[in-house]
Structure 1
Amino acid sequence: MKKRLLFMLFLGLPAIMIYAQADKDVMPDSISRVYQLGTVDVVGTAIKISAPDKIDMLQMREFNKDNLTDAVNLIPGLTISETGARNEGALYLRGFSMLQTPIFYDGVPIYVPYDGNVDITRFTTFDLAQISVTKAFTSVLYGPNTMGGAINLVSRKPLKKIEVDGISGIKFSKEGLNGYHTGVNIGSRTKNFYFLGSVSYLDTKFISLSDKFTPTDYEDGGRREHSASKDLKVSAKVGYTPNATDEYSLNLIIQDAKKNISPSITGGQYRDYPKYNKKSIYFKSNTYLGLGTNMKITAFYDNYYNIMNQFDDHTYLLQNTRKAFHSIYDDYSLGGSFNLSNESIKNNLLQFAFHEKYDSHKEHNGAIAANETTGQVAKEGEPIQKYLDNTLSVGLEDTYTFSKYFTAVAGLSYNYRSNSKAQEYGTHYLTGDKNVLYDFPTGSDDAFNYQLASILHVAKKHDITVSASRKSHFASQKDRYSSKFGSQEPNPDLSSEFSWIFDITYEGRLTDKFQYQASLFRNNVDDAIYQITVGTQDNGDPIYQNRNVGRAVFQGYELSFGWELVKNLKIGANYSYIHRENKEDKAVKFVGVPDHKFIAYGKYELSSWGAYFHFDTEVNSKRYVTSDGITVPGYMIMNAKIHSQLWKGLSCEFGTKNLFDRNYAISRNYPKEGRSFFTSIVYNF
């Protein structure tokens, strides 16, 4: 084992030892490579406003954030979480969950119709130009359900006639080689056409637990049980730009994943996802109509297909017990948006947006064939259950610059959601009949949203933004109809949640070497969806129902800065304080979000070597993991790497994650990875 580890360390030595040419790598321009059709702009070209938090492609590579979960964790006010029993990455934005904070890909909604969520760890970042996170004031141009904000993944766009960039490497730990990573982008741009193709692949053989982990009856430490995963992502875009104003683009994304689910270290469910696949195709265009008017059109089809198996025990072989199943989800969303913007009036931008999204969810437990060799008995499958929703949104937004010191933005939208089919198989929730396919009553819901923001340009490069918003979130199909294996009573009449969102943000720049931002926010949530106990199961466990009975307050503040302290040395940090309080019952705790989160980072460049040293550290306070007050401890982890140029366009790097091998968790009984190492070759031509 020691010989293997020394060999792997040797692979990383060129990143430390080699003396390269003095010229720096030809790094891609993160701003000019942004696919502008994929952005959602609140303001026009002549009007300046405080920008949303953004992570660009260079930062993602410098911090080695290969998936979306890790990347968004750099944003102040945003906390990552996970659903351990499903091995899903998740996030909270200023206390709001992913149900209330939708994720978009180039402005196209990608959340799964039934759950309203998506596993963000499955999204690799190699083909992204930036991740844009909008918090308090979220433009009505995004459409419905943005109560907690919006997260937009913006893809790249090529700049040169022929260009290639990418990264390839390995990951290892004291347990040996445990993974590979690679991402390649190949593009071309001519006067009127462009093309970009991207392929990324992450292969995790296993994750290694910290040496400080205490073994249990269900986890002996070292290699984490059942922790492998594979993620393949292929994306492509082709575009046509006939003139300086117009653009038309067709985009394709294919994601094929397979992930194991590590069991709880105290025992329980044994699951895996042999298929976790997603496919998207979308068209986007911008056409200048004259008289200061632009028309943008988006049309999309998004398909999500997965299979989840639950097994009898840790052998992951048999599915004979009642709790075992072979669950199949087959979902798709079909829709589009239409946006008109007009700047014919001086200092004024008026925008109109229309969105429609049709969601189809199909699920059933598939049949399991008998196998005499293993002892598997035959199990019958279920009929397919269907859920169909249609969501419409109409929005109007106006931005007016009164003077060079003051800009105001006002937005209004009307959102409508109707359900045309909702089916379930099992015990009828009203009659008690067993093993029947039945229909829930259909229904609809609507909501008005409105918001206002003012931007004070108090001095050059110093802005204060004050905003107030009344935003809504429609209950998901799962919220309304899921019985959760008998532990929940459906509520087809479940209505929207609402929140008043207040924010004041000050951002400034003292010279080009020091910039900072401070935000103070308060979110008052009304008609919140809470689980209410309404009965008892045969085994004594409670039966819940989702109802609009909750009131809550999420409040706090954020601080961040970036500073070029001396030549070649840059440092930065951000701190978030988020406190969530249940106004109905203060004894019931909100889970998943620590009150305190701190991130610091630094970069020292050896310009004559074409090299740099990077470090970052993250500190989280304790967080609640159950509503009755159980917590997991806080933690601090540190990462570091050395990056060195080999010759122009080619570099090597070596780094470590969780440098001090901390044993920590962000969900109960699901420990995170201990110390690991990586080494990579980076190329840009």
Structure 2
Amino acid sequence: MNKRYLAAALGFPAALTSGTAAAETRLPPIIVTAPAQAGRVLPPQTVVTQDELVDRQPRSLADVLRGVAGVTVRANSRGETVARIRGAEERQTQVFLDGAPLAVPWDGRVDLGLLPAGLIGDVRITKGAAPIEYGTNTVAGVVDFQTRQSAQGSFAHAEAGSLGSGSASVVLAERIGAVEATLAAGGITRDAEPLAGPLPFSQASRSRRTNSDLDAASFFAALGTEQGDLRLRASVLHLAAERGIAPESDRPAEAGTRFWRYPDIALTQATLNLGLTLADHAEFRATAWHQDFSQRIAQYRSVSYAALRRTQDDDDSTTGGRIRLAHRLGPLDLRWAASAQSSTHRQVETDFPSGIAGPRLRYRQNLYSAGVEADAQLAQGIRATLGAAYDAVDNPLTGDKPRQPSLGAGAFSSALQFDLGSGAALTFSGGRRTRFPTARELFGEALGRFAINPDLRPEQAWLADVELRLTRTGFALTLNPFLIRSENTLAQRVVADGRRQRFNLSGATSFGIDARLAHDLTETLRLELSGTALSARADAGSAPIRRLPQRPSYEALAVLDWNVSGRFDLRAELRAIGKAIDLDAAGQRVELPAAAEIALRAAIPIARMGARDLVLTFAVDNLTDAQIFPQAGLPSPGRLWRIGLRFD
């Protein structure tokens, strides 16, 4: 991506924020993906509100999720920043934006580090057996982003930091008569990620991570209106980016280290949401989406990134929709939901130095889901929700690879809640979910890195949760023990020629507990504690190493927030990560040590401009420059400082 696009995003007219203050009322959001309703019992959910986003000073959607109990955010081996729920693979965590899936279906993943956080109004994280509206492949849980609307007001923020890092967001969210409009632009840039300690291979600098630069710019526009019982909102998101992929530094070049870059990434997604009230206790909602995605992967011969070995040009187009009908039938509240999505992937590989392009391969995957949920009041203070669905997949186009059979699987969920009084509630939930292999897992060779396995089977998971919530004035406690029994879990092994291959484990079991405590120590001082303890093991005899890789035994976050209204807001964070394991280039076990990092945040109002404040912000990430390895050879960034201005 040319730097001028990023400059355009960062320089998006600040005058946008000089308009009228946000209206006190707004059009209700058309949430098609599992809205909370009276009588509905949902599995464990965490909502990150706008106030919490301001406190955390996130730069990207990935930063929004850091510190949420049960959610791990990390960069994978392709340099993509992804979210995992309770140690599950990132493809088992579905990501939505305003009701539309955000991940590229070919890969089943989305890079959350490319989109600016300023676009988001709030986010809901659902863990466990997710409601049926989310459709296929929601095995571990869901991250559901909602874009900013007029009640949350306009917003602008720009910051700069060490190693050429910077980010900016400008959002105009206003209601004009019967129309609610949102316009947004943002950008994220860095010359390199900071390096906290020495690395043995493919690392020339002591301070800058090799090939870890990033430039991303995004634009968003939405219009909504309400006409009687009908509500509509149409939106479009465009992202353009380029970035490097840091090489694995735990192995020499001859061990298959990837020297890759993404010189061109582009995503455009259009979404249409509709809500229609039919009668008392009856409502129809629908979401339709279309996504175009393209990228170029450039593979180089050495760490100098001078001589190309091969390129891969990807082009994806996806169209889908979801409908939902809610109505009352006697003592039951029913929700019928159905969704369908079709995605086509086109791919060309070109070898160098000849520059001769190979054949243009086409792949297509279709996903379907349909089901029903029912809510019932069983007794005073006791509610239940039961659901059942059927998911299906077919792959009508398979490029030059073997044909695949159509597959289907049933899903179900149940949740039972007891109102214990005095702000306490106890919820039991569980169910079964299935994830079908993505087209890339079935057919993708990743520029010679993977040997395909046409016999991959769908993953299935049995999930069980218990959640205790206790809420008092200035105090909130959540305890959530969980159990996940997986069958046919996808894993990787190293084959004789050094390539990796995906295969199905017979099964794996994960269990642990998520917990969160928030307590107002005084009127201005708040304490937050959150974390997850996790054990994840493959069945005996199903894998050479039973402990599942890249699953820390615990993750914990302690926060002290000192907020004196109108004067300052200071925040200190301590994040601790337990031991984990990974596999090296030969498939052998590698120990990943426990680690901890400290982050500091400060926000100081410096001027009042009409109804808004101009705020000076300051942040330091990984203050002690701790070396943290979420996976072998690919450390997390070292110390990074940033300073900026916020206008809201």
Q: Quick check: TM above 0.5?
A: yes
Scaled by the length of structure 1, what TM-score is found? Answer: 0.85
Q: 2:310–2:447: 8 Å Cα contact kept in structure 1?
A: no
After TM superposition, give the deviation of residue 205 of structure 1 in Å: 1.9
Q: 1:178–1:207: 8 Å Cα contact kept in structure 2?
A: no
1:647 to 2:607 alignment: yes
**Partner residue, 2:441:** 479
Structure 2 residue matching 1:661: 3-state secondary structure: coil
**Cα gap change, 1:143/1:611 in structure 2, threshold over 3 Å: closer, same or farther?**
same
* Alignment gaps of 5+ in structure 2: 1-19
**Partner residue, 1:66:** 59
- State which of 518, 539, 558 in structure 2 corresponds to 1:600: 558
Q: Using the TM superposition, name which of 594-603 and 112-121 deviates more.
A: 112-121
- State which of 567, 570, 573 in structure 2 corresponds to 1:610: 567
**Partner residue, 1:3:** none
**Cα gap change, 1:35/1:56 in structure 2, threshold over 3 Å: closer, same or farther?**
farther
**Partner residue, 1:517:** 478
- 1:261-340 alignment runs, 5 A limit: 261-265=245-249, 266=251, 267=253, 268-319=257-308, 324-340=309-325
1:624 to 2:624 alignment: no
Q: 1:445–1:495: 8 Å Cα contact kept in structure 2?
A: no
**Cα gap change, 1:514/1:184 in structure 2, threshold over 3 Å: closer, same or farther?**
same
Structure 2 residue matching 1:572: 3-state secondary structure: strand
After TM superposition, give the deviation of residue 561 of structure 1 in Å: 0.5
**Cα gap change, 1:647/1:344 in structure 2, threshold over 3 Å: closer, same or farther?**
farther
What letter corresponds to residue 99 of structure 1 in structure 2? R
What letter corresponds to residue 171 of structure 1 in structure 2? G
The whole-number CA distance in structure 2 between the counterparts of 1:61 and 1:151 is 19
The whole-number CA distance in structure 2 between the counterparts of 1:33 and 1:273 is 40
- 1:529-568 alignment runs, 5 A limit: 529-531=490-492, 536-537=496-497, 541=498, 544=501, 546-568=502-524
- State which of 142, 155, 164 in structure 2 corresponds to 1:178: 164
Q: 1:469–1:501: 8 Å Cα contact kept in structure 2?
A: yes
1:354 to 2:316 alignment: no
**Cα gap change, 1:366/1:38 in structure 2, threshold over 3 Å: closer, same or farther?**
farther
The whole-number CA distance in structure 2 between the counterparts of 1:217 and 1:72 is 30
Q: 1:536–1:543: 8 Å Cα contact kept in structure 2?
A: no
Q: 1:43–1:399: 8 Å Cα contact kept in structure 2?
A: no
**Partner residue, 2:98:** 106
**Partner residue, 2:192:** 206
The whole-number CA distance in structure 2 between the counterparts of 1:679 and 1:487 is 40
The whole-number CA distance in structure 1 between the counterparts of 2:142 and 2:473 is 29
After TM superposition, give the deviation of residue 595 of structure 1 in Å: 0.8
1:269-303 per-residue CA deviation (whole Å, 9 max, x = no partner) reads 32211112211001000001114211111111011
After TM superposition, give the deviation of residue 344 of structure 1 in Å: 5.9
After TM superposition, give the deviation of residue 532 of structure 1 in Å: 6.3
The whole-number CA distance in structure 2 between the counterparts of 1:54 and 1:118 is 21
Structure 2 residue matching 1:566: 3-state secondary structure: coil
**Partner residue, 2:636:** 672
1:149 to 2:141 alignment: yes
The whole-number CA distance in structure 2 between the counterparts of 1:61 and 1:495 is 43
- State which of 67, 71, 74 in structure 2 corresponds to 1:81: 74
1:361-394 per-residue CA deviation (whole Å, 9 max, x = no partner) reads 11111466xxxxxxxx432111111111111111
The whole-number CA distance in structure 2 between the counterparts of 1:532 and 1:216 is 23
What letter corresponds to residue 148 of structure 2 in structure 1? R
1:552-611 per-residue CA deviation (whole Å, 9 max, x = no partner) reads 10111112110001121011011210110111436343122201111011111223x531
Structure 2 residue matching 1:387: 3-state secondary structure: strand
What letter corresponds to residue 559 of structure 1 in structure 2? A
* Alignment gaps of 5+ in structure 1: 1-25, 369-376, 425-438
- Higher CA-based Rg: 1
What letter corresponds to residue 555 of structure 1 in structure 2? F
- 1:493-508 alignment runs, 5 A limit: 493-508=455-470
- State which of 43, 49, 53 in structure 2 corresponds to 1:56: 49
RMSD of aligned residue pairs (Cα, Å)? 2.5
What letter corresponds to residue 273 of structure 2 in structure 1? K
**Partner residue, 1:221:** 206
Q: 1:558–1:577: 8 Å Cα contact kept in structure 2?
A: yes
Q: 1:81–1:592: 8 Å Cα contact kept in structure 2?
A: no
Structure 2 residue matching 1:70: 3-state secondary structure: helix
Which structure exhibits the higher relative contact order, with contacts defined as CA atoms closer than 8 Å and separated by 6 or more residues? Answer: 1
Q: 2:44–2:467: 8 Å Cα contact kept in structure 1?
A: no
Q: 1:34–1:155: 8 Å Cα contact kept in structure 2?
A: no
**Partner residue, 2:3:** none
Q: 2:312–2:447: 8 Å Cα contact kept in structure 1?
A: no
After TM superposition, give the deviation of residue 207 of structure 1 in Å: 2.4
- State which of 657, 660, 685 in structure 1 corresponds to 2:621: 657
**Cα gap change, 1:404/1:628 in structure 2, threshold over 3 Å: closer, same or farther?**
farther
**Cα gap change, 1:184/1:483 in structure 2, threshold over 3 Å: closer, same or farther?**
closer
**Cα gap change, 1:471/1:34 in structure 2, threshold over 3 Å: closer, same or farther?**
farther
**Partner residue, 1:589:** 547
**Cα gap change, 1:71/1:34 in structure 2, threshold over 3 Å: closer, same or farther?**
farther
- State which of 528, 533, 537 in structure 2 corresponds to 1:577: 533
What letter corresponds to residue 141 of structure 1 in structure 2? E
What letter corresponds to residue 595 of structure 2 in structure 1? Y
Give the number of equivalent residue pairs: 615
Give the fraction of aligned pairs with identical amino acids, expressed as a percent.
17
**Cα gap change, 1:453/1:662 in structure 2, threshold over 3 Å: closer, same or farther?**
same
**Cα gap change, 1:54/1:404 in structure 2, threshold over 3 Å: closer, same or farther?**
same
**Cα gap change, 1:75/1:474 in structure 2, threshold over 3 Å: closer, same or farther?**
same
Q: 1:421–1:442: 8 Å Cα contact kept in structure 2?
A: no
What letter corresponds to residue 271 of structure 2 in structure 1? Y
What letter corresponds to residue 458 of structure 1 in structure 2? L
The whole-number CA distance in structure 1 between the counterparts of 2:157 and 2:27 is 19
The whole-number CA distance in structure 1 between the counterparts of 2:36 and 2:123 is 18
The whole-number CA distance in structure 2 between the counterparts of 1:570 and 1:385 is 56
Structure 2 residue matching 1:280: 3-state secondary structure: strand
After TM superposition, give the deviation of residue 56 of structure 1 in Å: 2.0
1:188 to 2:174 alignment: yes
Q: 2:44–2:127: 8 Å Cα contact kept in structure 1?
A: no
What letter corresponds to residue 409 of structure 1 in structure 2? T
1:403-450 per-residue CA deviation (whole Å, 9 max, x = no partner) reads 3410100000011111111013xxxxxxxxxxxxxx522420000001
After TM superposition, give the deviation of residue 356 of structure 1 in Å: 0.4
The whole-number CA distance in structure 1 between the counterparts of 2:505 and 2:637 is 39
- 1:632-643 alignment runs, 5 A limit: 632-643=592-603
**Cα gap change, 1:504/1:32 in structure 2, threshold over 3 Å: closer, same or farther?**
farther
The whole-number CA distance in structure 1 between the counterparts of 2:213 and 2:334 is 50
**Partner residue, 2:216:** 231
**Cα gap change, 1:131/1:39 in structure 2, threshold over 3 Å: closer, same or farther?**
farther
**Partner residue, 2:15:** none
The whole-number CA distance in structure 2 between the counterparts of 1:145 and 1:647 is 48
Q: 1:80–1:91: 8 Å Cα contact kept in structure 2?
A: yes
Q: Using the TM superposition, name which of 256-265 and 444-453 deviates more.
A: 256-265
Q: 1:573–1:600: 8 Å Cα contact kept in structure 2?
A: yes
The whole-number CA distance in structure 2 between the counterparts of 1:632 and 1:562 is 30
**Cα gap change, 1:498/1:34 in structure 2, threshold over 3 Å: closer, same or farther?**
farther
**Partner residue, 2:328:** 343
Q: 1:47–1:401: 8 Å Cα contact kept in structure 2?
A: no
Q: 1:595–1:623: 8 Å Cα contact kept in structure 2?
A: yes
Q: 1:92–1:593: 8 Å Cα contact kept in structure 2?
A: no
